[in-house]
Amino acid sequence: MFTVAPTSNVPQTDPTIAAKLEAEFLASRPYQVLKDTKGLSNLSPHEKSAFINARFLETGAWKSWAVPQQKEFWKAVEQQKIPFPLPKPKDLGKDSKGRDIGSYSPEEYKLFQKKEGDLQALRGKSARYKERGSSGRETEVGDIEDERNLRKLIGVLQGKKMGRYEGDPEWDDVVPIPQDDGEGALAQIAYTDEYAEGRSLPISI
């Protein structure tokens, strides 16, 4: 029932994923773009009718109409080849290195999504291991080594090596206490990540 936005209106080689998503967004609103370009008063009767129907489609106003009126509306949408409007692209944020994800090429973004999917699956597997430990179930030596290797892989994929204790499942039952120099400290000490992690662990006397 819905018309797909014509690919001829979407650049085939976008410099960034943000540009590609924005182009696809605009291509799904051809009559909105036409109205913004020419002005409503300069649209032809056909273009005005299509623009109004496109707005009805986007807002969902047609859902409250009587069935006969809805049928006429969908008939007009088909005849005017109005594509279903895509949602406004969201800010993609930054990656672990602080780079704007929107500046990725489409191919880089595709690889990034795959990596994030792999990371999510691995983190889920690691979380299940921790749940088994917290429930009191015993873990075998082989399971511990597998989990240790899993955490190393997570560190590689996320671009940040896990700390010595964070990456070792045998320390999971130890709750770290964050180092706090206090608000009134004259100068905060720039500890290395490894030293700060070690300092945060409770010391048994």
The pLDDT assigned to 149 comes to: 87
Confidence label for 99 from pLDDT (cuts 50, 70 and 90) = very high
pTM: 0.65
The predicted pLDDT at position 205 comes to 40
Please name the amino acid found at residue 6. Answer: P
**Residue at token pair 């773009």:** 33
124, pLDDT greater than 80: yes
Q: Examine the pLDDT at 135 and tell me if it is beyond 60.
A: yes
If you average pLDDT over residues 49-67, what whole number do you get? 96
Helix 106-134 / helix 17-27 crossing angle, nearest 10 deg: 100
Beta bridge partners of 100: 94
Give the model's confidence band at 4: pLDDT under 50 very low, under 70 low, under 90 confident, else very high.
very low
Which residues lie across from 3 on neighbouring strands? 83
Pick the more confident residue, 100 or 174. 100
d(CA 139, CA 60): 54
Cβ atoms of 151 and 162 closer than 8 Å: yes
The lowest-confidence range among 11-25, 30-44, 60-74, 187-201 is: 187-201
Task: Count the neighbouring beta carbons within 10 Å of the beta carbon of residue 69.
Answer: 11
Mean pLDDT of the 165-185 span: 71
